[in-house]
Amino acid sequence: MSLISLFINAGLSVGGAVICYRLILDYIPIFIARKMYGNDQCKVSNAPVPEPMGVICAAVYLIVMFIFIPIPFLEWIGNETETFPYAKLLAILSGLISISTAILLGFADDMLDLRWRHKLLFPTLSSLPLLMVYYVSGNSTTVIVPTIVRHLFQPIVLLPVTINISFIYYIFMGMVIVFCTNAINILAGVNGLESGQSLVISASVSLFNVVQLIRLDSENTTGFWHHSISLYFLLPFTACTAVLFFFNKYPSRVFVGDTFCYWSGMTLAVVSILGHFSKTLMLFFIPQTINFLYSIPQLFHFIPCPRHRLPKYDPKTDTVSMSKAEFKKSELKTLGKLFMTACRTIGMLHVEEFEKDGELYYCINNLTIINLVLKFGGPMHESTLNSVLMAIQVSGTVIAFFIRFYLASLFYDV
Ligand code: UD1
Ligand code: MG
The per-residue DSSP string of 109-120 comes to HHHH---HHHHH
Q: If you take atom 9 of ligand 1, which residue's CA is the nearest one?
A: 186
Q: Please compute the mean of the pLDDT values over residues 107-132 and round it to a whole number.
A: 91
**8 A C-beta contact, residue 184 and residue 197:** yes
Nearest ligand by distance to the CA of 195: 1
Kindly report the pTM of this predicted structure: 0.96
Determine the distance separating the centroid of ligand 2 and the alpha carbon of 187, expressed in angstroms: 9
Ligand 2 geometric centre to CA of 85 (Å): 39
Phi, psi angles (nearest 5°) of residue 232: -55, -40
Using CA atoms, how far apart are residues 177 and 278, in angstroms rounded to an integer?
10
pLDDT above 90: percentage of residues in the chain:
82
Residue 365 has φ and ψ, to the nearest 5°, of -70, 145
Contact criterion met (CB below 8 Å) for 259 and 106 = yes
> Which residues hold their Cβ within 5 A of ligand 2, which is an ion?
185, 258
Please give the distance, rounded to the nearest whole angstrom, from the Cα atom of residue 45 to the centre of ligand 1. Answer: 17
d(CA 404, CA 63): 34
Which numbered atom of ligand 1 lies nearest the CA of 309? 11
Q: Compute the distance between CA of residue 413 and CA of residue 395 in angstroms, rounded to an integer.
A: 26
The number of the ligand 1 atom at minimal distance from the alpha carbon of 192 is 23
Q: Which atom of ligand 1 is nearest to the CA of 38?
A: 30
More confidently predicted of 358 and 292: 292
| Phi and psi, residue 241, nearest 5° | -70, -35
The mean per-residue pLDDT over the stretch 206-223 comes to: 93
Question: What is the distance in A from the centroid of ligand 2 to the CA of 286?
Answer: 20
DSSP assignment of 334-377: HHHHHHHHHHHHTT---EEEEEETTEEEEEEE-SSHHHHHHHHH
Ligand 1 lining (C-beta closer than 6 Å):
38-42, 51, 185-186, 188-191, 252, 255, 258, 308-310
Reported as a single tens digit per residue, the pLDDT across 65-94 is 999 999 999 999 888 888 999 999 999 999
Mean pLDDT of all residues belonging to the chain:
94
Ligand nearest to the CA of 264: 2
* Of 66-75, 136-145, 362-371, 385-394, minimum mean pLDDT range: 136-145
C-alpha of residue 189 to centroid of ligand 1, in Å? 5
pLDDT > 80? residue 255: yes
Per-residue pLDDT band for 285 (boundaries 50, 70, 90) equals: very high
The bound ligand whose nearest atom lies closest to the alpha carbon of 186 is 1
Q: Whose CA is nearest to atom 3 of ligand 1?
A: 308
Q: Residue 38 has what pLDDT?
A: 96
Which region among 160-169, 230-239, 381-390 has the lowest average model confidence (pLDDT)?
160-169
CA-to-CA distance for 199 and 204, rounded, in angstroms? 8
Contacts of 126 (CB under 8 A, 6+ apart): 97, 98, 101, 102, 105, 177, 266
pLDDT bin (cut points 50, 70, 90) of residue 291 is very high
Give me the sign of the Cα torsion angle 222, 223, 224, 230: positive
Name the residue with the closest Cα to ligand 1, atom 5.
Answer: 189
The residue-averaged pLDDT of 367-386 equals 98
148: part of which helix (H) or strand (E)?
helix 147-153
Rounded-to-integer distance, Cα 63 and Cα 34, Å: 24
SS3 of 380, please?
Answer: strand
User: From the CA of 188, which ligand is nearest?
Assistant: 1
What is residue 51's predicted lDDT score, i.e. its pLDDT? 97
pLDDT score recorded for residue 414: 56
Residue 172 Cα to ligand 1 middle (Å): 28
Nearest residue (CA) to ligand 1, atom 38: 185
Candidate from 136-140, 170-174, 312-316, 344-348 with smallest mean pLDDT: 136-140
Atom of ligand 1 minimally distant from the CA of 308: 12
State the distance from the centre of ligand 2 to the C-alpha of 409, rounded, in angstroms.
38
Residues 6+ apart with CB under 8 A from 83: none
